[in-house]
Each structure stands twice: as C-alpha cells, then as structure tokens.
Structure 1
Amino acid sequence: MSGALYNAEILRLAATIPHHDRLSDPMGSAEKRSPICGSRVTVDVNLDSQGRVSEIGLLVRACALGQASSSLMGASAIGRSPEELAVARDALTAWLAGSGPLPDWPGFDLFTPALPHSARHASIRLAFEAATEAAESARAGLHA
C-alpha cells in the first residue's frame, strides 16, 4: 500500500518544491502544522495591485505528501487571488473527506492513493491552508 501512496511522482514533487525560500519582507505570512505528524509549512506572500499573489516563499518541514502538496501549491499560486486559494483549500478538504469532486488544481489527482489514509490528509492540506491565510492577511494589510 505504501508503494502506491508514495509513488515516484509524489517523491519527485517533494524534491522539487518551487519558491523554497521565505520572502524577506512579506505582506502576509502563515504557518500551519499537523498535530498528527508534526509536519509544518510556512507560506509568505506578496500581492500585486490587483490583490493577486505576485510572490510566494515557502518553508516546508513536512513528510513527502506535505512536500508534494506544497510543490503543487507553489507551482500554481502566482496570479491567484485569496478567494481562489480559499476555493482550492476548501475543495481539497472536501475531496479528501470524500464529500466533493477532484479539485480544479493542477496535479491533485496524484493524491488519489492517499484518500483512504485519513491520517495523511492534514499534511496534504497544510500548504493550501497556510497560503490562503497568508494571502488573506496580506489583503487585509492592503485595506488597513
């Protein structure tokens, strides 16, 4: 079973996380931690004048699934609004819980083998939870 869970593509993504440096002066930051396994993801973001992510920085201390999810999030977060990140986060949460369709985000189908492993779901969600919170915090700072 673990062979299917930690497949070659998951391991490749885990080893190639984009934007794998924190931003020096982010507009918004958030850290999320899984109480089950201790995985931790910190996301920094800057927003452009349209309120979309213009820069992102990641600090990922997570299992291979958390790293792979961070890689997918980081690869497609630039240009997204806080609302779009929230939609992806919520869709991922619903899909992992078995109450929603496959989310509309590049690569999520790779996590299909993790569906029956609910103890792994928190790590998969971390990057999307942190990115959404960081982007919402950055937006609040723009309107303060």
Structure 2
Amino acid sequence: MSATVLYTPEVLGLTIRLAHYPWSEALPLQGEARSQSCGSTIALGLSLGERGTVESIGIRSQACAIGQAAAAIFADAVIGRGPEEVCVTGETMARWLSGEGPMPEWPGLAKIAAARDYPGRHGAVLLPWRAAIQAFSKDD
C-alpha cells in the first residue's frame, strides 16, 4: 500500500503566496482560528465592498504547510464572494473532510485534497474558513 504524499512541491509552493496578503490592523473584520489537532493558527482581516462581498484580505499565519496552503487557496479565491458563500463552503469542507460529502466548489482545493487522508491536518485545512466565519460574525 502506498502512502498519499501530503507535502508536495505544489503544496509547499502555495505557502509563499501568503506574502501577497499582508496583515493589516486597518481591515475592519478580523477573526482567528486555531487547529486543536496541530496547534496551527491563522488570523484573517477582511473588508467588504458596497455589494457586501469581500474586497480585501490580509493574513497572519503561524500554521503548518497545509494550513498555510489552505489559507493561500482561500485568499486567492475569496475576493468577490459574500459571507454566506464562504460560510456554506466552510460547512461543506468540514463534511467532505469527515467523509460525508463531496469536495466543495472552491478553486485550488484539489491541490490539498490529500489532506483528507490525514485527520490530524483537517483542522489546519479549515482554518481560513473558520477565521472568516468568526470575522463575519463580528459584522453586526
């Protein structure tokens, strides 16, 4: 039986994409998430435009390579999406990781699909969605 390779060059390459999304205290919506299984953390700052969709994002990460890759995939595709779509995708992602549904429709997720075979990394995959949901919940 062959093991699924988790830390591929493609996954490791995604981690440097976070440099495109610098953290800014000026972003009005902020949320944080921590993986219980590996201790990785991510903080997201977001702003919404006039249409109520994400206009900008900043990330502060102290996460494993899978958490960083997930954050890059999230950030690369979140601009123009609304809070409801992000929340639904996060819920769909959690079900998929636990084997209870299909992989959500989100560009780039196939690059970290191997993480599904590593339950200890599920929390890291969910970090950006959980941080965004927390940030949106503060927007009252």
TM-score, structure 2 as length reference: 0.91
> How many pairs align?
139
Query: 1-side partners of 2:56 and 2:3: how far apart?
Result: 35
Partner of 1:109: 110
Q: Return structure 1 stretches of 4+ with deviation > 4 angstroms.
A: none
Between 1:15-24 and 1:45-54, the stretch displaced more is: 15-24
Is the partner of 1:133 in helix, strand or coil? helix
Partner of 2:98: 97
The structure-2 alpha-carbon separation of the partners of 1:131 and 1:28, relative to structure 1 and needing over 3 Å to count, comes to same
Partner of 1:52: 53
Partner of 1:134: 135
Aligned AA for 1:82?
Answer: P
Partner of 2:123: 122
Q: What is the percentage of aligned positions where both structures have the same residue? A: 33
Partner of 1:84: 85
Unaligned runs of 5+ in 1: none
Once the two structures are superposed, what CA deviation does each residue of 1:67-126 show, in whole Å capped at 9, x if it has no partner? Answer: 000000011111110001101111111111100101100111122222121111000100
Aligned AA for 2:8?
Answer: N
Aligned AA for 1:41?
Answer: I
Aligned AA for 1:9?
Answer: E
Query: 2-side partners of 1:113 and 1:76: how far apart?
Result: 20
Name the Cα RMSD after superposition.
1.6
Deviation for aligned residue 1:3:
6.9
Indicate if the aligned counterparts of 2:22 and 2:59 stay in contact, CA closer than 8 A.
yes
TM-score, structure 1 as length reference: 0.89
Aligned AA for 1:107?
Answer: G
